[in-house]
A and B are shown apart, each in its own frame.
Chain A
Amino acid sequence: MSASLEKGINALKEQVDSTVASFFSSCVHCGMCADACLFYTETGCPTATPIHKVEPLRRIWKSEYTLLGRVGKMFGLTAKVDDELLSKWETKVYDHCTLCGRCSMVCPMGIDIALLIQKTREGMAAAGYAPESLIGATKRAVTIGSPMGVKLPALMAQIKHVENDTGLTIPMDVVGAEYMLLLSSMEIMNFPEFIEAIAKIFTKADVSWTISSEAFEATNSGIQIGVADIAAELVQRIVDAAEKLKVKTVISPECGHAYMAIRWEGPNLIGKPFSFKVRHILEILDEFRQDGRLKINGKEEQRLTYHDPCQISRRGGVIEQPRNLIDMFSDNFVEMPDAGKMNWCCGAGGGVSTNERADKVRLKVFQRKKDQLDEIKPDAIISACSNCRIHLEDGLEEYNMDIPLMSLTETLAEHLE
């Protein structure tokens, strides 16, 4: 079996529901979504207008589910979805959209354009128009267990380092633990300090936690590429592990789409409610703060700002928690313009960072973040998403800006008593 236009069209047909129909029939073509999208504002290219990116899905809705469209189709008047269209739209859907959802916020008709793009990707992927590197990452996620190809021995090696450095134990596969921590491959390979920070904080907070050796990967390539079947399979692995270990709460790490995938999409993907809670690490840390489990020693002197990861702030609702936590160790905090739910995307979410073809454009649209930073001139940036962090570092280097990036969890751990 292989991808084909027929499968792509069928997948798009499956995506049309009453929500999609009402979205398309209510679009007034005002173009406000264009100015909300950094791929439009930074490139000035009208084809980057968010609602324009979902044209394949719109055509299927129009020609298959509307009376006028069907009549038009009989006379060959309704625009078709064909290989030419899909190959033209591939870059628009995968390279020029980070699923950040800022367009959905400004739409005066309340259209969730990011959702429509996600649905359009379902058709693109089934028709064989997903970017090469995303296909590769998805294959590794399914076969190896991690999009970056990180296997259990690699994790165990990093854990051993952390244990040697700190003298703390990282609890693996503990049945009945309160919390089960997930990790992104990026954290395992590039930021093992995150594991160290968690170990410190959870030990001080005196709570029971564990990592599953069977499902430690938090990211979900199926969500990014747009294949619900694969996304569901990846979610199921976590659900199986959490149920096996009988944990009460699964913690999504400092990763944007992983949180969206497991918390908001997860139960829909597998078709039943979870038997456990899912929380973002920042939500857990803020609970610790409220319970008085975190004792802080000393404050950061430098001027700090917080970059809101789209899937965590705008689409996840975790906005107050990071600010509460930063307040614990900083008196010199400054907000970026448009901070919070309207923050601008770093430019590399939604699979764009994995997609090598989009390297040039993601660095170009970083200009928007640069403008935001130029306005407040912070000494350091704090964030809570490894993907944002990697891309922000790339961007800052590209634009010759010397501002260090810090993880919120790691910075908090450094200031523990």
Chain B
Amino acid sequence: MTNDFKKKKSQKEQTFGDVMRSQGVSRRSFLKFCAATASMMAMSPAMIPKIAHALENARRPSVIWLSFQECTGCTESLTRAHTATIESLIFDHISLDYHHTLQAAAGHAAEEAREAAMEENYGKYLLVVDGSIPMGNPGYSTIAGISNYDMLMETAKGAAAIIAVGTCATYGGIPHANPNPTGAVSVNDLIKDKPIINVPGCPPIPVVITGVLTHFLTFGTIPELDHLGRPKVFYGQSIHDRCYRRPFYDKGLFAETFDDEGAKKGWCLYKLGCKGPTTYNACATTKWNNGTSWPIEAGHPCLGCSEPDFWDGGGFYKSLSMPTENITQTAIYTAAGAVAAGVAIGAMNKSKKNSAIAAHDKTTIDDLEK
């Protein structure tokens, strides 16, 4: 294939390899990206050339991005990369045919673009959703006069798969928090007949999104999911299990307040309400802002933002298992009860055995046969 011929290809026909070369990315750094992706997603090294080959020849998939009841934090998280990375190139590579925050067009013109993309790629496009869907009243959130519910159901019909990005789209998120005034629901509350990948987090880690996209581009399938529909490679382990402060927890060394000696020494934040033990996400390993830091490293307990109803968990600074106030008394009563029960059962057993001994007739040689 000559360069001349390549140039003639329309933008939509370009493969990812073409895009990369046009951006001046060396093959070496591309392969490094493939290796990093394989290890991040716990694949065998044998998969690296397959990823490279698949990515290089992948056609630009059409992506439609719908934003409903959200704060745009998820979009910010994904687009605010500090430097041009291959992750961002992947974003450049996808044909983002509709994203009302990012596109120049608005209103009916924008909707026409969405309808055109849907028609052209029916059954093949990826649908990305951020934000929850209000079911209380369709008027709570509309785009060009179309309710969020109608738009989601219409667009979902022709999608190959749906990626729900952020805690609002995956579990209802903050709009869903008690008392849930808009009747907010998640994508998988409404859609049951399409493969849905949940990428929760408030916001989710950018690399998690690109990892899922890479997987889809490479294999044309969705990655293995956990019981909440989250990709296991990123949500398979708890924050607590991967936390660098875990050794302090194991030794029982806790920060009691935000400015005590323990906090300064970097001890475990469990008693300050850290939800790490019940939260499954990749923060502890991938970190944020190009691997700079993450909440616990910055001295703040994990809020548990990638778990359902994290906003209604009873206080961010309340420890996961605070003992009841009358713990000593309760323990004393329980122990006393257990001792009493033990004594009673022991006495019953003793009397049973004594009656057996009382019933004992001395066995002689005449008693050995029936």
Contact = CB atoms under 8 A, between A and B. Distances in A.
Interface stretch (B61-69, B189-197, B199-207, B353-361): B353-361
A98 interface: no
Interface residues of B, number: 18
Given A13-B356, A14-B357, A65-B352, A126 B363 contact: yes
B28 interface: no
A64 B360 contact: no
A230 B353 contact: no
A67 to B, nearest CB: 7
Given A13-B352, A13-B353, A7 B368 contact: no
Contact of A1 (B349, B360, B367): B367
A65 B363 contact: no
Contact of B360 (A2, A4, A11, A125): A11
Contact of A128 (B360, B361, B365, B368): B368
Nearest to A225: B368
B370 interface: yes
A142 interface: yes
Contact of B368 (A11, A65, A125, A228): A125
B356 A227 contact: no
Contacts of A396: none
A67 B368 contact: no
Residue with the highest number of chain B CB atoms closer than 10 Å, among A10, A16, A130, A143: A10
B364 interface: yes
Interface in A1-29: 1-4, 7, 10-11, 13-14, 16-17
A415 to B, nearest CB: 43
B116 interface: no
B227 interface: no
Nearest to B355: A13
Q: Which of B364, B366, B368 has the most CB of A within 10 A?
A: B368
A268 B368 CA distance: 22
A139 to B, nearest CB: 5
Given A14-B353, A65-B352, A128 B363 contact: no
A4 B357 CA distance: 16
Nearest to A2: B370
Interface string A370-397: 0000000000000000000000000000
Nearest to A65: B349
A252 interface: no
A143 to B, nearest CB: 7
Given A142-B365, A229-B363, A128 B370 contact: yes
A126 B367 contact: yes
Nearest to A21: B349
B354 to A, nearest CB: 10
Contacts of B365: 135, 138-139, 142-143, 230
B361 A1 contact: yes
A10 B370 contact: no
Contacts of B345: 67
Interface string B333-367: 00000000000010001001100110111111111
Contact of B369 (A64, A67, A128): A128
Nearest to B352: A64
B369 A2 contact: yes
Interface string A121-158: 00001101010000100110011000000000000000
B222 to A, nearest CB: 43
A10 B356 contact: yes
Interface in A187-218: none
Contacts of A65: 349, 352
Nearest to A128: B370
Contacts of A13: 352-353, 356
Contacts of B363: 7, 11, 125-126, 227-230
A355 to B, nearest CB: 14
Contact of A17 (B353, B359, B362, B366): B353
Given A2-B369, A2-B370, A17-B353, A230 B364 contact: yes
Contacts of A228: 363
Interface string A61-100: 0001101000000000000000000000000000000000
Please give me the 4 A-B residue pairs with the lowest Cβ-Cβ distance, nearest first: A13-B356, A128-B370, A135-B368, A139-B365
Given A2-B369, A3-B367, A4-B370, 19 more contacts: A1-B364, A2-B370, A3-B370, A7-B361, A13-B352, A13-B356, A14-B353, A14-B356, A14-B360, A64-B352, A65-B352, A125-B368, A126-B367, A128-B368, A128-B369, A143-B365, A225-B368, A229-B363, A230-B363
14 contacts: A1-B361, A1-B364, A2-B366, A3-B367, A3-B369, A4-B370, A7-B361, A10-B356, A11-B360, A65-B349, A67-B345, A128-B369, A135-B368, A227-B368
